[in-house]
Amino acid sequence: MRLHRVQALGPNGLTEPRDVDLPVDHADVDATGLVLSPGWCDLHAHLREPGFPEKETLATGAAAAAAGGFTQVVAMANTQPVTDTADRLRANLARARDLPVRVMFVGALTEGLEGRRPTDAVALQAAGAVALSDDGRHALDLQTLVGALQHASATGLPVLIHPQDESLGSQPEAELAAVEQAVAALRQVPRARLHLQHVSLAAALPMIAKAKRDGLALTAEVTPHHLWLTEDALRRWGPLAKVNPPLRTEADVAALRGALIDGTIDIVATDHAPHQAAAKRDAETAAPGISGFETAAGMLLTLRLPWPVLYRACVALPRAILGIPLSPDWILIDPAETWAVEPDRFLSRGRNTPMTGTRLSGRVRITICHDRVVHHAEVPVG
């Protein structure tokens, strides 16, 4: 396939338009105004298999990821059963063998995600785990977290932390306490690598910045919805805007955007959390989470983040955190296409999003993975 007059995205931003040949069996494309990027990597997604096929399967999640431009996706361990043994990790990899995108798996940090006994990190790594995480839970005390980091550091696997102390609920104090705990644990195990998931508070940023200045191997992520939506979305959308951690204030959103640009926050990850409609009906009991794969690129492009920031946050650093190479996959982005979010057209089984009807500027047109086109969007009609 030849792309005519395409701009390529790299660490320093966009190149001048040129013709690019890709080893893919597909018609040539007039790519004037389009951007060719290496496939994006999502370090934080819930694909729900095994255990919750009504919410998502590996197949539907992978199709949605391809539509969103993600060619590598890291699936969390809070499945049923929990991915806390090598046998379960190997079973997940077997299920993912023929998917259109590259799905990787974390192993649980503690048995059953209960925050008590560390899992066998060596066995999980040998089975193919790319990281360890209890995401969805944070039941760890400091001593247990230090022990888990020690186990992980022996393998070189990064530990991904859901920074929200369960004993404090969902209040801002819960996130701040968990970030403080995570940094304190990392100071005791400086050989470990620790990654903070879905940071949502401006008040957490100085702690992260100081830990980095002190030379700790700490990284952090933000989700598209925490860069875009405020707590006001709850009044409009109710349960559809319920996420964990909660949406915050306008000041938090502004601070998170600045921290992503200046590098205090390293990457963007979707925290893709699909749910069936019944799980989002009641405000009190609604499951937290947003189906995030298929809107992420549009949300980030509409924010007009600098291209080098997008490359760092969506291409380079997610893989660096995992210690994996850049895969030979590609996405073709139309940064000017405007479109309205229509959840009924999602490829994910989860249609749960507060973005319905929102007009976004920027969309993934083609996704190439495993040397074949795995997603080709319709030609835009305006």
84 within domain boundaries: yes
* Domain interval for residue 322: 40-326
Residue 288 token pair: 């937290």
Res 260 pLDDT > 50: yes
- The mean per-residue pLDDT over the stretch 358-378 comes to 95
pLDDT digits (tens, 9 = 90+) for 276-334: 999 999 988 999 999 999 999 999 999 999 999 999 999 999 999 999 999 999 999 99
Is there a domain that residue 5 lies in?
no
What is the average pLDDT across 360-367? 97
Query: 267 lies in a domain?
Result: yes
How many domains does the chain fold into? Answer: 1
- Stretch 254-276: mean pLDDT, rounded? 98
How far is Cα 178 from Cα 140, in angstroms, rounded to an integer? Answer: 9
CATH number of the structural domain spanning residue 292: 3.20.20.140
Distance CA 245, CA 164 (A): 7
- In sequence order, the 6+-apart residues with CB closer than 8 A to the CB of 380 are 334, 337, 339, 363
**Catalytic residue, candidates 165, 271, 329, 334:** 271
pLDDT, tens digit (0-9, with 9 covering 90-100), for 94-151: 999 999 999 999 999 999 999 999 999 999 999 999 999 999 999 999 999 999 999 9
Residue 244 lies in a domain: yes
Cβ atoms of residues 280 and 287 within 8 Å: yes
Q: Is residue 291 in some structural domain?
A: yes
The answer to whether residue 11 is domain-embedded is no
Question: Given this model, what pLDDT does residue 332 score?
Answer: 98
Which tens digits make up the pLDDT trace of 62-95? Answer: 999 999 999 999 999 999 999 999 999 999 999 9
Predicted pLDDT of residue 380: 42
* Backbone φ, ψ for residue 376 (5° rounding): -140, 105
Is the per-residue pLDDT at 378 higher than 90? no
Is the overall model pTM greater than 0.75, yes or no? yes
Cβ atoms of residues 106 and 74 within 8 Å = yes
Instruction: Over range 355-361, report the average pLDDT.
Output: 97
139 domain-assigned: yes
Burial annotation 95-128 (CB, 10 A radius, 16+ → b, else e): bbeebbbbbbbbbbbbbebebeebbbbeebbebe
User: Which residues, at least 6 apart from 87, have a Cβ–Cβ distance to it below 8 Å?
Assistant: 127
Q: At residue 379, does pLDDT exceed 80?
A: no
Phi, psi of 368, deg, nearest 5: -120, 125
pLDDT of 5 > 60? The answer is yes
In the residue annotation, 271 being an active-site residue is answered as: yes
Q: Judge whether residue 61 has pLDDT over 50.
A: yes
Q: Which amino acid is at 115?
A: G
Q: What average pLDDT does the segment 235-256 reach?
A: 97
pLDDT at residue number 227: 98
Please report which confidence band the pLDDT of residue 381 belongs to, taking 50, 70 and 90 as the band edges: very low
Burial (CB count <10 Å: 0-12, 13-18, 19+), residue 53: middle
Task: List pLDDT tens digits, range 154-203.
Answer: 999 999 999 999 999 889 999 999 999 999 999 999 999 999 999 999 99
- Kindly report, residue by residue over 26-57, the tens digit of the pLDDT: 999 999 999 999 999 999 999 999 999 999 99
Residue 122 is assigned to a structural domain of this protein: yes
